[in-house]
Structure 1
Amino acid sequence: EGSMGPSEEKTVDIYRDTWVRFLGYANEVGEAFRALVPVSFVWGSYAVATAYVTADAVDKGKKAAVAHGDNPGKTTRVAVAVVDTFVWQALASVIIPGFTINRVCAASLYLLGKSTKWPLPVRKWTTTAIGLSTIPFIITPIDRSVDFLLDSSLRKVYNDGKKHE
């Protein structure tokens, strides 16, 4: 944001600006399919999302190391970049949306069971469709909420004044 120089503004961040970002949503897709697939598939989707979160955190740490060269406080800056990215991504890409889709699907399956006479396979596929269609609507509110949460807590501790983007 404010700390970027003119030449850096157009740099593409593969973890934020490309299809790679969707790997962070793998677990939401896994949760949406929970009613239809073995639970190992769901856990595998969490492994993909966690690998994405970890890779992004390492990438931001490397970028912080390069940006701060041999300046004093470099280690702290790198640690802050890694921790901030990891915590933000873990909450915004894995934990909160995974829980949200899990509950939306559980509630959908339950309500379809109570309110329809549809056969179980139809209810399960409908639940999956509901879960998948919910994903685009939860991303922005969750991202904004995690920004607010971290700005109000963890970021006050290291007070580097920069927002996560």
Structure 2
Amino acid sequence: MDPSKEQLEKTVDIYRDTWVRFLGYANEVGEAFRALVPVSFVWGSYAVATAYVTADAVDKGKKAAVAHGDNPGRTTRVAVAVVDTFVWQALASVIIPGFTINRVCAASLYLLGRTTRWPLPVRKWTTTAIGLSTIPFIITPIDRSVDYLLDSSLRKVYGDEEKHK
């Protein structure tokens, strides 16, 4: 098969290959802006990220159902696809990066308060800039760490062939 036909047949995963992927980072953006916005905005950003995680898990479950047709063990494979995707995404896209950005921003605001004489609004905007600029650097290490964690634990229960990716 020549490359052009192969490219045409490749299925685009909207949750991994399009702008929709950035919805998984909504809570990191919310955490970066925590010093500047009402807390309801931060919680709203978690709602967006959680909706993304849930939608991706449901999508992977539907794809597993189609892939396994009426074969024995279909229900188990669908459940594994949903659980693996949800757990992976919850850890790698919401919980760990949200906590990380929260702590980076809290530490930044504290350190700026102790080491500078900048007015509070300047310190808050600087903290937000630091939080936002941290996001691209934490994604890959967190993703790899969550892969390692799940490969070393949950995925041993159902086998390596059923990963989220």
TM norm structure 1:
0.94
Q: Tell me the secondary structure at the aligned position of residue 3 of structure 2.
A: coil
Q: Which moved more, 1:85-94 or 1:151-160?
A: 151-160
Match of 2:2 in 1: 5
Name the structure with the higher helix share.
2
| Percent of paired sites with the same residue | 94
* 1:163 Cα offset (Å): 3.6
Tell me if the contact between 2:88 and 2:150 (Cα under 8 Å) persists in the aligned partners: yes
Change (3 A) 1:135 1:153: same
| 1: CA distance, partners of 2:161 / 2:63 | 17
| Cα distance per residue 1:107-133 (max 9 Å; x no partner) | 000000000000000000000000000
Answer yes or no: is the 8 Å Cα contact 1:147–1:164 preserved in 2.
no
Tell whether the 8 Å contact from 2:151 to 2:160 is kept in structure 1 after alignment. Answer: no
Report if aligned partners of 2:84, 2:163 keep a CA contact under 8 Å in 1.
no
Cα separation, partners in 2 of 1:5 and 1:90, compared to 1, 3 Å: farther
Is this contact kept in 2: 1:61–1:81, CA < 8 A? Answer: yes
Report 1:82-97 matches (<5 A). Answer: 82-97=82-97
- Aligned mates of 1:142, 1:5 — CA distance in 2: 36
In the TM superposition, what is the alpha-carbon distance from 1:6 to its structure 2 partner?
A: 10
State how many pairs are aligned. 161
Change (3 A) 1:146 1:109: same
Change (3 A) 1:6 1:152: farther
Cα separation, partners in 2 of 1:5 and 1:161, compared to 1, 3 Å:
farther
- Give the Å deviation of 1:11: 1.1
C-alpha distance after superposition, 1:85-139 (max 9, x if no partner) = 0000000000000000000000000000000000000000000000000000000
Asked if the contact 2:105/2:131 (under 8 Å) is kept, the reply is yes
1:32 touches 1:127 (CA, 8 Å); kept in 2? yes
**Contact kept? 1:88, 1:150, Cα under 8 Å:** yes
Q: Which residue of 2 aligns with 1:32?
A: 32
TM-score, length basis structure 2: 0.94
CA distance, structure 1, for counterparts of residue 22 and residue 136 of structure 2: 11
Q: Give the whole-Å Cα distance in 1 for the aligned partners of 2:83 and 2:12.
A: 21
Distance across 2 between alignment mates of 1:65 and 1:103: 40
Query: Shift in Å at residue 14 of structure 1?
Result: 0.3
The residue aligned with 2:128 is 128
Contact 2:81 2:162 (C-alpha < 8 Å) held by counterparts: no
133 and 79 in structure 1: CA distance in 2 versus 1, 3 angstrom threshold: same
Shift of 1:34: 0.0
1:49 touches 1:93 (CA, 8 Å); kept in 2?
yes
* SS of equivalent residue, structure 1 residue 35: coil
